[in-house]
């Protein structure tokens, strides 16, 4: 399926456009979930807790790729909308080089600092060795992971989102097959899970380098010779700052959740949170994929000066995301028990804890779609500062504050209610941000 950034978008065309990006993010989210399933069932609760303890820190590093990709895709789409395709290729090529170099440097640093980092995150003696081993082996794939995260947005900017879906599927298959072979059959535990993850990330991250520079390239973007231009790196990074802040915030919040849960419930709490987050990753993938697919479209029409189409995209997106939110919340309530049993059915108390955690936590998706879209909208409008404010407040102010304060006020359930309270507060903030910084999109008679 080929797409075009230009032209009018009705509901059907919006969904056709974003579905490949949604599928791409859904499959990408399989990496940690598959690792967790195999480790939990074939390596034990301690290894499962180790994987969940270290994964947020790895996501924090890979988020630089998401920042470069999301902010860069909006920038490249804007340049294309202004009528400068060759300039768009040069900026695209430079940003890919920057993402690759960043992944190499960060992977090396985290491999060297794996032990002190694991201790900082709360690893006890029973988990420490597995935390360090898992982290160091995963770092072999970090350059590919950063590239993979960056290309997620560039596929849409290049009008070939289906390639992103294909690469996510290939990477997911590699991960699943290697997990089955290394963790289940060869009983390699967390080491096998780490190798499977790293291999899948290298495949999904490096193949696009070949594609975008080869004669097989059928996209509207191409990797070309270019010089580094600091002004565009800064613009892409500032434009994608909200996605970076959002993922950093998610990682920091996950770390605090784990620290709180280790304090109140021990390994069982961390395991229950890990399973809850697996389901949250799946549901959030729908929203993230939607925003990844639509942000370049918004950027293109912003560059082209088409205000009517921008208004239409905002209105239709809020309707679609509201329907998605209702659907995923209902599914979560129905499947909480069976999903908890799938991962930890061998422990009745842990299954009950996980079921309750899922049912409370997943209520956040009633509001999360609209809140996340407002942040993505400002990225598309090349206003990274306002976009970052929405993301920063949502996680690092509202959710982080709630997860620290609520357990002392209402008990253990306060940990699970924290995200729901955060989404309510974020909704109020996002409504004000739209009214204040994008009045042309929400007020009919704004000059």
pLDDT digits (tens, 9 = 90+) for 217-267: 888 899 999 888 888 999 888 888 777 777 777 777 877 888 888 888 887
| pLDDT at residue 144, as a whole number | 94
d(CA 148, CA 165): 11
Q: What digits encode the pLDDT tens for the residues 166-183?
A: 888 898 889 889 989 998
Can you tell me the mean pLDDT for 128-153? 91
pLDDT surpassing 90 at residue 90: yes
Supply the pTM of this predicted model: 0.73
d(CA 38, CA 242): 33
Q: Which carries the bigger pLDDT value, residue 353 or residue 447?
A: 353
Q: How confident is the model at residue 1 (pLDDT cuts 50, 70, 90)?
A: low
| pLDDT at residue 446, as a whole number | 46
Residues 153, 159, 161, 166: is their CA dihedral positive or negative? negative
d(CA 368, CA 286): 11
| pLDDT at residue 339, as a whole number | 85
d(CA 135, CA 48): 13
Can you tell me the mean pLDDT for 38-65? 78
Q: Which carries the bigger pLDDT value, residue 61 or residue 329?
A: 329
Q: What digits encode the pLDDT tens for the residues 378-416?
A: 988 988 889 888 888 888 899 999 999 998 898 888 999
| pLDDT at residue 21, as a whole number | 81
CB 341 within 8 A of CB 351: yes
pLDDT surpassing 50 at residue 123: yes
**Percent over 70 (pLDDT), the chain:** 96
Residue 49 phi, psi (nearest 5): -65, -35
| pLDDT at residue 447, as a whole number | 45
Average pLDDT over the chain reads: 87
d(CA 66, CA 158): 16
Q: Which carries the bigger pLDDT value, residue 238 or residue 314?
A: 314
Q: How confident is the model at residue 196 (pLDDT cuts 50, 70, 90)?
A: very high
Residues 50, 51, 56, 62: is their CA dihedral positive or negative? positive
């Amino acid at each position: 399926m080929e797409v075009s950034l230009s032209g009018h978008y009705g509901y059907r065309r919006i969904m056709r456009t974003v579905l490949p990006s949604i599928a791409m993010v859904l499959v990408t989210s399989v990496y940690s979930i598959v690792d967790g399933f195999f480790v939990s069932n074939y390596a034990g609760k301690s290894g499962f807790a180790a994987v969940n303890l270290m994964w947020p820190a790895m996501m924090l590093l890979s988020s630089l790729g998401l920042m470069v990709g999301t902010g860069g895709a909006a920038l490249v789409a804007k340049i294309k909308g202004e009528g400068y395709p060759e300039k768009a290729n040069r900026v695209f090529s430079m940003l890919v080089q920057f993402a690759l170099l960043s992944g190499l440097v960060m992977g090396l640093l985290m491999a060297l600092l794996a032990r002190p980092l694991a201790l900082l995150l709360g690893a006890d003696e029973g988990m420490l060795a597995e935390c360090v081993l898992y982290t160091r082996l995963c770092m072999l794939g970090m350059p590919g992971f950063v590239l993979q995260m960056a290309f997620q947005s560039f596929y849409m900017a290049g009008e070939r989102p289906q390639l992103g879906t294909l690469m996510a599927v290939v990477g997911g298959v590699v991960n699943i097959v290697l997990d089955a072979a290394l963790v289940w059959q060869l009983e390699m535990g967390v080491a096998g899970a780490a190798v499977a993850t790293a291999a899948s990330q290298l495949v999904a991250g490096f193949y696009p380098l070949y594609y975008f520079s080869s004669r097989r390239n059928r996209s509207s973007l191409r990797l070309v010779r270019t010089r580094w231009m600091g002004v565009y790196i800064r613009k892409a990074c500032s434009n994608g700052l909200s996605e970076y802040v959002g993922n950093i915030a998610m990682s920091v919040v996950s770390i605090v959740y784990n620290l709180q849960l280790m304090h109140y419930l021990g390994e069982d709490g961390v395991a229950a949170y890990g399973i809850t987050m697996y389901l949250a990753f799946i549901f959030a993938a729908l929203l993230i994929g939607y925003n990844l697919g639509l942000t370049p479209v918004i950027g293109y029409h912003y560059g082209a000066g088409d205000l009517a189409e921008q208004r239409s995209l905002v209105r239709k997106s809020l309707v679609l995301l509201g329907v998605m939110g209702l659907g995923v919340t209902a599914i979560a309530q129905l499947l909480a028990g069976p999903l908890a049993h799938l991962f930890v059915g061998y422990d009745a108390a842990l299954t009950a804890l996980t079921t309750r955690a899922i049912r409370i936590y997943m209520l956040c998706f009633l509001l999360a779609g609209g809140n996340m879209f407002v942040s993505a909208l400002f990225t598309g409008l090349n206003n990274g500062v306002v976009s970052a404010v929405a993301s920063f407040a949502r996680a690092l102010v509202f959710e982080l504050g709630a997860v620290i304060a609520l357990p002392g006020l209402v008990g253990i359930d306060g940990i699970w209610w924290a995200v729901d309270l955060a989404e309510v507060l974020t909704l109020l903030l996002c409504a004000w941000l739209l009214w204040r910084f994008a009045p042309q999109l929400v007020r009919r008679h704004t000059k």
